[in-house]
Amino acid sequence: MNHYKPIPTALKLLQGTARPHRMNTKEPKRKVAKVKSPPVWLNSEGKKEWKRLIKELTNDGIVTNLDTSMLATFCQMWGEYIAGVKSGEPVGVTHMTQMRLLAAEFGMTPASRTKVEALPIEVEPENDPWAGL
Q: Which residue has the higher pLDDT, 16 or 121?
A: 16
Give bridge partners of residue 32 from the DSSP assignment: 64
Q: Is residue 120 part of a domain?
A: no
pTM of the model: 0.71
* Cβ burial, residue 55 (10 Å; 0-12/13-18/19+): exposed
Between helix 68-87 and helix 44-59 the angle, nearest 10°, is 140
* Helix axes 68-87 and 93-105, enclosed angle (nearest 10): 140
Give the chain's domain count: 1
In a domain, 111, yes or no: yes
Residue 24 lies in a domain: no
68 is a domain residue: yes
Nearest Cα neighbor of 50 from 18, 82, 73, 23 is: 73
| 61-120 residue pLDDT tens | 788 888 899 999 999 999 999 999 999 998 899 999 999 999 988 888 887 777 765 656
Side-chain half-sphere CA neighbours of 101 within 13 A: 8
Domain-embedded: residue 9: no
